[in-house]
């Protein structure tokens, strides 16, 4: 939803600038993602800064503190504190999940290496033959 609002704001800006640059799009031929990526890479620093400002203006809601009494300010502060705590908790959970997934990936790679080692021994090859990056060369195949 936020992204749609940001894209809408960009389109309005482009139409205000005129059809010369980035005006009407051609029919989508399945290469839209590549074109979008290429367009993203060719943007100038000023264009990226402008997009950043637009996205931040959409995401960050202005604080309306005018006319609030002390109780209202305290309530607003506690509400913001709850949001911060919630976001920090989510961040911690995601970091721990990432660590656990990295560890699991390491374990699976090691298990795969051990299985390949056993398979190589079973085939009568060097134990490290199947654990490398490339498969072992077949001695029966002649090079031409």
pLDDT tens, residue by residue, 79-101 = 999 999 999 999 999 999 999 99
Residues 105 and 110: their CA atoms lie apart, in Å, by 9
**Residue 131 or residue 53, greater confidence:** 53
Q: Using N-to-C axis directions, what is the helix angle for 2-17 and 45-59, rounded to 10°?
A: 130
pLDDT-derived band of residue 116, with 50, 70 and 90 as boundaries?
Answer: confident
Alpha-carbon distance values, 58 to 4, 46, 112 (Å): 10, 18, 47
pLDDT of residue 26: 47
Residues 28 and 52: their CA atoms lie apart, in Å, by 26
What is this structure's pTM?
A: 0.47
**Residue 75 or residue 140, greater confidence:** 75
pLDDT of residue 139: 62
Query: What are the tokens at 51?
Result: 């997009």
Buried b (16+ CB within 10 A) or exposed e, 84-122: eeeeeeeeeeeeeeeeeeeeeeeeeeeeeeeebbeebee
* Other Cβ atoms within 10 Å of 35 Cβ, number: 13
Query: What's the whole-number mean pLDDT along residues 27-47?
Result: 72
Q: Which of 11-15, 43-47, 135-139 has the lowest mean pLDDT?
A: 135-139
pLDDT-derived band of residue 24, with 50, 70 and 90 as boundaries?
Answer: very low
pLDDT of residue 42: 80
* Other Cβ atoms within 10 Å of 130 Cβ, number: 20
* Residue matched to tokens 């704001």: 9
């Amino acid at each position: 939803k936020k992204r749609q609002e940001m894209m809408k704001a960009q389109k309005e800006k482009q139409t205000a600038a005129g059809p010369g640059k980035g005006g009407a799009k051609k029919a989508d031929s399945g290469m839209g993602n590549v074109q979008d990526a290429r367009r993203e890479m060719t943007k100038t620093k000023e264009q990226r800064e402008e997009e950043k400002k637009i996205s931040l203006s959409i995401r960050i809601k202005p604080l309306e503190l005018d006319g609030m009494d002390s109780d209202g300010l305290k309530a607003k502060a506690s509400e913001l504190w709850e949001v911060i705590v919630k976001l920090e908790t989510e961040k911690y959970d995601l970091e721990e999940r990432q660590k656990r997934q990295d560890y699991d990936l390491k374990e699976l790679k090691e298990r795969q290496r051990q299985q390949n080692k056993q398979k190589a021994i079973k085939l009568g090859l060097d134990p490290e033959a199947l654990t490398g990056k490339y498969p072992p060369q077949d001695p029966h195949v002649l090079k031409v």
